[in-house]
């Protein structure tokens, strides 16, 4: 699969602002790695600028762990994201091209309240993953109130099960139909992660063929969220960003597995091998 023109950095007269500004909102005590993986993947996928919006009391962790990524210390509640942080996110939203929401945010009620408020009120492309999806499972009607028309959800089968209120066993035989129907009903792009990841915006449909069992490891989904967010920030429409994102994510995993084996694959390997995946697809 060849990458679209928007992802080719071929114009000599450009600067970082031409390649998208991503904001990654998430993190909580014990779950700081998710945001780091997402942010690093976004940078490696070509985003010109990446900032992490994280609980203020955890900010020093990110200042140490991330070199090329900026941080935005957000109002927190005992280390968890707080609804009070909404005004901070809203204040910089005009500068942002795409937002990744939910990585490592936890099931803390305070954090989930903030996530739902961002989905409802911020008019920027959103990629919602992990605990962002868990928050939506409690209030799906927020999706119909969402201000943005560029919304991507990236659930795995368990999270999709919670969204639908059905068991995984009920979903598996008809997952293609359910993915397309859900995307159409809520006017969004859905990425159902798993063996042969599915992508649909309710009209178009894509079934991915890259990837391997070694990618079933903690943090793999955070890397995918970062890649997709970077692609939207660089100008791709949500369905295209998701389609190329899952393809390159899987290809990176395949290339890593050849050298490191499937047994030894970890999420940061996906970021490490992403340049090789790009090279294969240019």
More confident site: 116 or 6 = 116
Q: How does the average pLDDT of the chain come out, rounded?
A: 97
pLDDT in tens, 12-56: 899 999 999 999 999 999 999 999 999 999 999 999 999 999 999
For residue 61, the model assigns a pLDDT of: 96
Hey, what CATH topology would domain 20-281 get? 3.40.1190
Over residues 88-130, the pLDDT tens digits come to 999 999 999 999 999 999 999 999 999 999 999 999 999 999 9
Residue 11 banded pLDDT, cuts 50, 70, 90: confident
pLDDT greater than 90 at residue 282: no
Looking at residues 251-255, what average pLDDT do you find? 98
Q: Give yes or no for a contact between 202 and 180, defined as CB atoms under 8 angstroms apart.
A: yes
Q: Averaged over 194-206, what is the pLDDT?
A: 97
The reported pLDDT for the residue numbered 120 is: 98
Q: What are phi and psi of 82, to 5 degrees?
A: -120, 145
79's CB contacts (< 8 A; 6+ apart) are: 28, 29, 55, 57, 58
pLDDT at 192 over 90: yes
pLDDT for the residue 6: 85
Q: Is the pTM of this model over 0.95?
A: yes
pLDDT tier at 67, thresholds 50, 70, 90:
very high
Say what the pLDDT of residue 9 is.
87
pLDDT of 10 strictly over 90: no
3-state percent helix, strand, coil for the chain, nearest multiple of 5: 50, 15, 35
Q: What is the DSSP string of 70-85?
A: EEEEEPEETTEE-GGG
Q: Is the pLDDT of residue 262 over 90?
A: yes
Q: Contact 274/44 with Cβ under 8 angstroms?
A: yes
* Banded pLDDT at 204 (limits 50, 70, 90): very high
- Which residues are CB-contacts of 40 (< 8 A; sequence separation ≥ 6)? 66, 69, 226, 268, 271
Contact 138, 245 (CB under 8 A): no
128-143 mean pLDDT? 96
What DSSP designation does 4 have? P
Say how far apart CA 232 and CA 125 lie, in whole Å: 7
What percentage of the chain exceeds 90 in pLDDT?
Answer: 96
């Amino acid at each position: 699969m060849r990458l679209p023109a928007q992802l080719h950095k071929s114009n000599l007269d450009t600067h970082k602002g031409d390649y998208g500004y991503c904001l990654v909102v998430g993190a909580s005590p014990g779950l700081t790695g998710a945001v780091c993986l997402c942010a690093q993947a976004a940078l490696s996928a070509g985003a010109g600028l990446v900032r992490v919006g994280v609980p203020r009391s955890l900010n020093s962790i990110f200042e140490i762990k991330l070199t090329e990524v900026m941080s935005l210390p957000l109002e927190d509640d005992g280390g968890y994201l707080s609804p009070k942080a909404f005004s901070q996110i809203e204040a910089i939203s005009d500068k942002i091209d795409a937002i990744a929401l939910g990585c490592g945010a936890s099931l803390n009620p305070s954090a989930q309240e903030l996530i739902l408020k961002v989905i409802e009120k911020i008019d920027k492309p959103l990629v919602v993953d992990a605990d962002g999806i868990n928050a939506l499972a409690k209030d799906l009607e927020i999706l119909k109130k969402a201000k943005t028309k560029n919304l991507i959800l990236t659930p795995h089968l368990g999270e999709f099960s919670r969204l639908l209120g059905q068991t995984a066993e009920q979903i598996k035989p008809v997952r293609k139909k359910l993915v397309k129907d859900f995307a159409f009903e809520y006017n969004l792009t859905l990425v159902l992660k798993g063996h042969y990841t599915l992508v649909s915006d309710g009209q178009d449909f894509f079934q991915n063929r890259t990837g391997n069992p070694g990618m079933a490891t903690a943090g793999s989904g955070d890397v995918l969220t970062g890649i997709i967010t970077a692609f939207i920030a660089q100008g791709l429409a949500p369905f295209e960003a998701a389609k190329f994102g899952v393809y390159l994510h899987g290809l990176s995993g395949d290339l890593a597995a050849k050298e490191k084996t499937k047994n030894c694959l970890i999420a940061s390997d996906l970021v490490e091998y992403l340049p090789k995946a790009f090279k294969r697809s240019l």
